[in-house]
Amino acid sequence: MEKPIILKAAKLPEATVAELKATFDVIDLPTEPEAARAVLEAEGARVRGVALRKTIIDTAFLEALPQLEIISSYSAGLDNVDVPAVKARGIVIENTSHILAEDVANAALGLALAVTRDLVQADGFVRAGKWPGQPQYRLGRSISRMKVGIVGLGTIGQALARRLEAMGAEVHYHGPRAKPVDYPFHADPADLAAVCDMVILTCPLSEATRHLVDARVLEALGPRGFLINVARGPVVDEAALLACLAADGLAGAALDVFEHEPQVPEALIADPRVVLTPHLGSGTEETRQAMADHVVDSLARHFAVPGPRSRPALASAGQVRSA
């Protein structure tokens, strides 16, 4: 029986690549644009599935793959995919938001604790030998007594909300529409910021969310407010954030993602009120392995072919189906 042909348009773990090649006929997409175009022209008509990570999937790419049935993405975000065009073709999209939600929520909570309790600077204080001369370190802020706004109450946002509730925080949220949950909904992100002590971003990047957190939202959050971003860097207008911090318009920020990463503005690096991490929200061994497994397993399920090994099927919350 002929194996389905899969286009590997992603840098994936070696073990995952081996599993793909054991299960499917795999065509590697070169990273160099001219070479990639040549492969699409020569082989695109035979491709039925795509293993994806960061490659841009636009209309031209889709036109080169007339038999495409499924895109299986290693990432949670689909900002590199023209989702409306994919759905218009009836192509299934699988991503990993349901797999990485717990670890990203943990990372968001860790960043929130780090910035409110000044944990990074406190570590430096002890290491520098300053504690004996200053027995009382400056006081932090209590998340347990805060109103915390979540922008994007999807799989990750809801996992985070559960953790915040357990800590005693009052959860509010903003998104494109209200959901059947008990948390207060705010249609305007500035309104959310105005009533909250902290805003945490867990939303996808899209044209609607690009620079969603702008000067207006930051001003509403105010000089006692904290901003946490584990979503995508361009959700925040970085220039507006820098200006706000320079004017003492925020108490602090904790950022795992940046507008032009891996480049991080020097002003953020130099600011002791800002906690910085290198886009590691889902970065645990267990979750990255599960994400890689899902790329192979979702393709195997779609084409009803035996997978590389027996693994429990994960919930299909990561699937985006056509209407």
- Mark whether 232 is an active-site residue: yes
For residue 147, what are the β-bridge partners?
170
- Which residue is catalytic, options 43, 261, 301, 302? 261
CB of 295 closer than 8 Å to CB of 19: no
Cα separation, 80 vs 54, whole angstroms: 6
Neighbours of 294 (CB within 10 A): 25
Cα separation, 231 vs 257, whole angstroms: 7
Angle at 208 between CA 204 and CA 213, to 5 degrees: 80
- Mark whether 261 is an active-site residue: yes
CB of 107 closer than 8 Å to CB of 276: no
Cα separation, 138 vs 142, whole angstroms: 13
Closest CA to 256 of 239, 236, 242, 240: 236
Cα separation, 132 vs 153, whole angstroms: 45
- Which residue is catalytic, options 48, 98, 232, 294? 232
Closest CA to 87 of 316, 314, 319: 319
- Mark whether 207 is an active-site residue: no
- Which residue is catalytic, options 89, 279, 288, 301? 279
Angle at 287 between CA 305 and CA 278, to 5 degrees: 130
Closest CA to 202 of 225, 237, 228, 180: 228
The DSSP H or E segment spanning 149 is strand 147-151
Residues taking part in catalysis: 232, 261, 279
